């Protein structure tokens, strides 16, 4: 099973591909979209996601979302478009919040998310070293996307 993990945001989004339990480290990316929110920006973000759907035979899209109270119009539009993409590419589609991610993995903080994800995927140690100087602020979304995809994969094993 190939899972496309996304941690969304309207200006920065992190993505990963988890294929049959293997994290494809060449597909760990943080994409920045600095323009003001517009239909053009929305299309740019969706086209970025389409790239991964075209390149890999994705079976599921798992999106780490902000808490519902923090959903902006931009996030709502983005989620609707991702839902449409999932249907278009015949993918399963699911959402998870950071709170849910922490709860199901028995974690209490962002640092624990990072540490747990590194233990699952030791190949992330180089990424971890690069993030030390900025307290991992830049890479947090990437760890969330990876752990979200992993969590979804685990859910599928128990179904």
Surface-to-core class of residue 89, CB atoms within 10 Å of its CB (0-12 exposed, 13-18 middle, 19+ buried): middle
What are the pLDDT digits (tens) for 34-74?
A: 889 999 999 999 999 999 999 999 999 999 999 888 889 99
Q: Is the pTM of this model over 0.85?
A: yes
**Looking at residue 76, what is its pLDDT?**
94
Q: Which of 19, 18, 12, 16 is nearest to 28 (CA)?
A: 16
Cα angle for residues 42, 60, 100 (degrees, 5° grid): 85
Distance of CA 155 to the CA centre of its chain: 16
Match domain 2-157 to its CATH number in 3.40.50.80, 3.40.50.300, 3.30.420.10, 3.30.420.40: 3.30.420.10
**Looking at residue 87, what is its pLDDT?**
97
Calpha distance 12→10 (Å, rounded): 6
Q: Where are the domains of the chain?
A: 2-157
Percent of the chain whose pLDDT exceeds 70: 93
What are the pLDDT digits (tens) for 84-128?
A: 999 999 999 999 999 999 999 999 998 899 899 989 998 887 776
């Amino acid at each position: 099973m190939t899972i496309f993990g996304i941690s969304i945001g309207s200006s920065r989004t992190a993505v990963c591909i988890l294929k049959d339990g293997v994290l494809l480290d060449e597909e760990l990316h943080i994409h920045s979209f600095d323009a003001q929110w517009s239909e053009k920006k929305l299309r740019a973000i969706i086209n970025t996601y389409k790239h991964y759907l075209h390149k890999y035979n994705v079976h599921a899209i798992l999106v780490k979302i902000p808490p519902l109270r923090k959903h902006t119009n931009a996030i709502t539009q983005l989620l609707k478009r991702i839902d449409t993409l999932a249907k278009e590419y015949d993918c399963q589609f699911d959402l998870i919040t950071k709170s849910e991610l922490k709860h199901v993995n028995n974690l209490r903080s962002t640092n624990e998310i990072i540490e747990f994800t590194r233990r699952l995927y030791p190949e992330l140690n180089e990424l971890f070293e690069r993030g030390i100087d900025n307290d991992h602020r830049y890479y947090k979304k990437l760890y969330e996307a990876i752990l979200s995809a992993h969590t979804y994969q685990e859910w599928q094993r128990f179904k």
